[in-house]
Structure 1
Amino acid sequence: MAEPEGAERPEPTEPTRSDDELFAELVAGFDDPVAEGERNWPKAEDVSDLSDFAPQARPRPRPAIRPLPMVPAVPPVDPRAWSPAEDPDEDHYVPPEPPPVPSAEPATKLALFALVGGVILALLGGFGQLPGMATFLGVACAAGGVATLVARMKDPDEDDHNDDPNHGAVV
């Protein structure tokens, strides 16, 4: 923009400084003493006698926590050397002898024999010790034995289900 011919431009009194330069100057002069004539705060705010700010002696309250009483030391005890005293009057539970195992029915025995024999035949036929028909016969015997055992499983009485709906143990 063009200036009019008769207008004069004022000269700046201070060179222009950046904010960073001004901040650095303020920080550098922070601890410098201020001359009497340059003060810009009221005289009442000057503090020359700092004795009022010295810590005052005050009574200390008695500590709320008392020291623990001294207890004489007990020598350490090896826990493996300790054994409880035997009480002859203490009763020990001795379970009764279990009843003898009931003998299996002939059909159950035959089904177990077919299962075990079929597994053995299938293994021997699979390893090549027996001809090919032995493997098929072994698998068929094992399957027949399992089917017979599953079919002969006894179902619990229906009356038992009505008495105890939880099927739990009685203590």
Structure 2
Amino acid sequence: LEVQANDKPAAPEPEEKPAEGAGDDDTAGPADPPRLGASITFAPGVGGAGPRDYSPAEPAEEDLDETDEGHFVPPEPPPLPEADTTAKFAWLAVIGGPVLMLVAVVLRWDMTWWLTTLCVGGFLGGFATLVARMSDGDDEEDPDPGRGAVV
């Protein structure tokens, strides 16, 4: 490599100085680049719009078609089966036992043995009744479970 004496590095260009009367404060003018951290906001809803502020455009009325074949409308679900008397009393015991104990504590009743037995025994008895009456799911067993999805 040969270095010639005429190869001098380019001198840096002088920086432009603000015009007089522009002010010497630290605020950035419209021509200045943004300062570091200027885009950070610490309060929600303050500052520019973010990705959660996006809302899709509403379709025009002529685009909406009442007979759209691709729109799925699920059928009405069947009504719930009527609960029998045993299930109703079991739920009453499961919910009523703790509620009765809470009322006794709030009203500062004496926690006698019969009140405690009624609350705890009612809860445990109702819970055991509901668990014992649960269906295990074998009632409607499919004879060929390996069929896969049926479309």
TM-score (norm 2): 0.49
Higher relative contact order (CA 8 A, sep 6+): 2
- Work out which of the two has the higher radius of gyration on C-alpha atoms and give 1 or 2: 1
Structure that is richer in helix per residue: 1
Question: TM (normalized to structure 1)?
Answer: 0.44
